């Protein structure tokens, strides 16, 4: 059978909880519920967060395109987050700032709260408030929000390259980053 599999709503929700449990388990065990791991990236002392993220992206991307090549997965039926170029550039920049200031992103805040961190609960309240701010300002920024739409486009489509070539670049980028991060972490630590 060709995936994505069609499941009923009830089964889908059960799977949501089960997949969510694994998601949370690996986030927490990777240290991503710990805000010091995040600030460690900016102080160049602890690179656990990008290591987890990049490893996950490589594993999932390789699996997806392999399954697609084997005709086990129909990529055209997968929901791909549509690209809106400038809103996502701006959103990514503001997000990075919030990430750095708070020490969490939405998913890791939930993981942080689950490990007993009350500051994560404050961040979660803030995220809710920020969503409300967005909803209130939506009529004024709707034009920008919907600007530069490019659809659910992927990098292989954009550059007209085979996906394994793009993946090759991703592997090389990851290998270079992992190498530099390991070297940096091994240098003698100064007390901050």
Residue 45 binds other proteins (CB under 8 A):
no
- b/e per residue, 121-137, with b = 16+ CB within 10 A? eebbeebeeeeeeeeee
- For other proteins, the binding residue among 53, 172, 175, 180 (CB under 8 A) is 53
- For other proteins, the binding residue among 55, 69, 175, 184 (CB under 8 A) is 55
CB of 172 to other proteins, least distance (A): 14
- For other proteins, the binding residue among 41, 45, 156, 177 (CB under 8 A) is 156
CB of 43 to other proteins, least distance (A): 10
Residue 44 binds other proteins (CB under 8 A):
no
Q: How far is CA 105 from the centre of its chain?
A: 9
- For other proteins, the binding residue among 16, 172, 175, 180 (CB under 8 A) is 16
- For other proteins, the binding residue among 40, 42, 71, 134 (CB under 8 A) is 134
Residue 132 binds other proteins (CB under 8 A):
yes
| Cβ atoms of 74 and 4 closer than 8 Å | yes
Nearest to 170 by CA among 156, 180, 152: 156
- Of 76 and 187, nearer to other proteins (C-beta) is 76
105 to 60, 86, 95, 134, 142: CA distances (angstroms): 20, 21, 8, 17, 24
Q: How far apart are CA 189 and CA 45, in angstroms?
A: 8
Contact flags string 78-107 toward other proteins, x per CB under 8 A: xxxxxxxx-xxxxxxxxx-xxxxxxxxxxx
Residue 38 binds other proteins (CB under 8 A):
no
# binding residues, other proteins (CB under 8 A): 121
CB of 154 to other proteins, least distance (A): 5
Nearest to 120 by CA among 99, 103, 135: 103
Residue 168 binds other proteins (CB under 8 A):
no
| Cβ atoms of 65 and 156 closer than 8 Å | no
Nearest to 49 by CA among 27, 66, 69: 27
Q: How far is CA 56 from the centre of its chain?
A: 9
- Of 29 and 179, nearer to other proteins (C-beta) is 29
Residue 172 binds other proteins (CB under 8 A):
no
């Amino acid at each position: 059978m060709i995936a994505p599999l069609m499941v009923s709503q009830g089964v889908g929700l059960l799977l949501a909880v089960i997949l969510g449990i694994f998601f949370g388990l690996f986030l927490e065990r990777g240290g991503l519920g710990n805000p010091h791991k995040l600030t460690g990236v900016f102080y160049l002392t602890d690179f656990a967060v990008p290591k987890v993220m990049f490893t996950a992206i490589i594993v999932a991307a390789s699996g997806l395109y392999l399954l697609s090549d084997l005709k086990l997965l129909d990529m055209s039926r997968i929901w791909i987050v549509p690209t809106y170029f400038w809103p996502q550039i701006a959103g990514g920049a503001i997000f990075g700032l919030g990430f750095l200031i708070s020490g969490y992103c939405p998913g890791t805040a939930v993981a942080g709260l689950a490990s007993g961190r009350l500051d994560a609960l404050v961040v979660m309240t803030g995220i809710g408030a920020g969503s409300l701010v967005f909803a209130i300002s939506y009529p004024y920024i709707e034009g920008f929000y919907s600007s530069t739409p490019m659809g659910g486009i992927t990098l292989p489509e954009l550059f007209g390259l085979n996906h394994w070539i793009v993946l090759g670049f991703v592997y090389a980028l990851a290998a270079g980053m992992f190498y530099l991060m390991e070297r940096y972490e091994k240098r003698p630590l100064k007390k901050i």
